[in-house]
Structure 1
């Protein structure tokens, strides 16, 4: 019975943290029950491999390692190629001067990061509301329960690719809506959503240590209380470690790193020697690839990707061209 209860709790936590990473909605009642059960389990149940106080103390005592890992990851991406400075795309439309842009997001969500990459590149100031993945109280007002949600002067936009298309149209009203991306751009934007994002989870949760590293980053940036952070970090890491194995099977991935390296090399081949897929400046496909890869830049998977593929030079150019974040404090 104890084993069945533990499995049930882990399953509920899995749904919660999987929703946090992917932006999928999770029934709040299930999450609350799971969190209550796991919280109680910390105090009253025999210690397990994943939830033992010794294990918690060990990882919490080394929490400063996350900062070191982040710095190392950033350095690797930055020194992968000689620094080049590329001018940002100037805004083409004086008509698009929004008073308020607000992004409802999960910090580590690849689809949210696609939107942020676009906003940063076009220097559109935006505020961020970090959604708590446990209760989602920040988006209770919305009938759409996924992220990202972008509010532009009261207009709600959802679905990352649709958000980007609509923003591009506002910035470039002279370009017909059906010409937002050419055939090549549409092909690679679809590749990002249908392939690249599916390669990430099996890599960032590939081993227990990588799962812990990933959730240390996620919970450090997410909207968690202290208790929720501890529970999500260790229960989430445990759950997603097993979820990643299911995703690996679902998407026919036999070698996680091999799939990641292949995806990186496939993208570099698509550039055909150009600085960007868009030529001398990034297009929407460049921004999409950069956006979904940006959350893993601090992690072992991202460091390995740069060390073992040719993507580093392109990534460094993108990092320089996109520049600093356009986020403004609320």
Structure 2
């Protein structure tokens, strides 16, 4: 009997391992855990000797069928959920622009909102890092702010307008207008909230003090094509300038405690989710991408680490990281 149970366990283990391995998105650890638990439930029953506290495990051929079925169903369900969260939404190949170039500042929340959209829809793009002091990279344009997106030679400006116009290009009116009026209104409401409120609490947090301002500009200059002299100039001059700008922004938007304002804003967003995976339901909508985009440049700065530690935003942010996936940015 021991030999039969060992043989059955070996055969089923190989079968389940193969099945779980083929379930896209299921981690090796998860597969191993499901495999282990269901094999033991399927192959063995535990009995207690009469009048004794000792137990022994016996081979149970009948429950094998139930255990194997359970393992396969659980594996398939886990893979299905993983695929639903991790799947990007690339547009039809014929609608993907041939050349997309983003003129940006690495830490700019509006630029990162555009990048989140491009990454989620898997649209390849090149990046030109703009020197925030000289702005020499955008002297050719009458528009002196970032982001600027060139799409097959056409200049698009203003992050929300860029996303709307690009969406019409790659999806078409039929898809854009397919959402219900209620869903569409909610999405628009929260996209406006991002532009009119959330972004305004970021700068006072990023440049809250000199050390955090320098941390931010160290991140900016390490991601741009700056010479050594430009890197030093931008880092220290930029950090000093933005430190004072952030103080003015606090006054302008009546912010007394910048961290409290940030925490309140992201908690407001979590409340808006109302238990949903994303505001868009089972997958992100444009509001999800906007919030994620503007928070992404601060996530691993001091302000972003504090934000995740002190609020409930962490779970949603992790889901968004998985959904948006790898950047579609083209290497220079």
Computing the radius of gyration from Cα coordinates, the structure with the larger value is 2
8 A contact 2:207–2:246 mirrored in 1? yes
In structure 1, how many angstroms separate the alpha carbons of the residues matched to 2:258 and 2:136? Answer: 35
Name the CA shift for 1:122/1:156 in 2 (closer, same or farther; >3 Å). Answer: same
Tell me the SS of whatever aligns to 1:266. Answer: helix
Q: Which moved more, 1:297-306 or 1:141-150?
A: 141-150
Say whether the 8 Å CA contact 1:150–1:163 is kept in structure 2. yes
User: Using a 3 Å threshold, how does the CA distance of structure 1 residues 239 and 145 change in structure 2: closer, same or farther?
Assistant: closer
Query: What is the distance in 2 between the residues matched to 1:253 and 1:219?
Result: 28
Count matched residues. Answer: 248
Equivalent position of 2:158 in the other structure? 159
Structure 1 match to 2:216: 214
Q: Which string of whole-angstrom CA distances, capped at 9 and with x for unpartnered residues, describes residues 280-299 of structure 1? A: 00000000000000000121
Q: What are the equivalent positions in structure 2 for 1:169-208 lying under 5 Å apart?
A: 169-175=168-174, 182-208=184-210
203-212 or 116-125, which moves further after superposition? 203-212
TM-score (structure 2 length as normaliser): 0.71
Partners of 2:113 and 2:289 within 8 A in 1? yes
- Report the equivalent of 2:139: 140
Indicate the SS of the match to 2:86: coil
> Counterpart of 2:272?
270
Write the mapping of 1:1-330 to structure 2, written as runs, cut at 5 A.
Answer: 86-175=85-174, 182-330=184-332
**Alignment check: 8 A CA contact 1:84 1:317 kept:** no
Contact 1:278-1:286 at 8 Å conserved across structures: yes
- In structure 2, relative to structure 1, the CA distance for the partners of 1:136 and 1:274 (3 Å cut) is same
SS at match of 2:200: helix
1-structure distance, mates of 2:233, 2:91: 46
**Higher RCO (Cα < 8 Å, 6 or more apart):** 1
- 1:208–1:84 CA distance, 2 compared to 1 (3 A): farther
Deviation (angstroms), 1:170: 2.0
What residue ranges of structure 1 are gaps of 5+ in the alignment?
A: 1-82
- SS of the equivalent of 2:269 reads helix
The two structures, once aligned, show a CA RMSD in angstroms of 1.9
**Alpha-carbon distance between aligned partners in 1 of 2:246 and 2:307, rounded to the nearest angstrom:** 18
Q: Shift in Å at residue 238 of structure 1?
A: 2.3
TM-score (normalised: structure 1)? 0.71
Measure the CA separation in 2 of the matches of 1:132 and 1:237: 13
Q: Distance in 2 between matches of 1:244 and 1:153?
A: 36
| Structure-2 change in CA distance of 1:241 and 1:137 (3 Å) | closer
Say if 1:270 and 1:179 are closer, same or farther in 2 by CA, change over 3 A: same
Question: Structure 1 CA distance, aligned partners of 2:189 and 2:110?
Answer: 17
**Structure 2: which 5+ residue stretches go unaligned?**
1-80
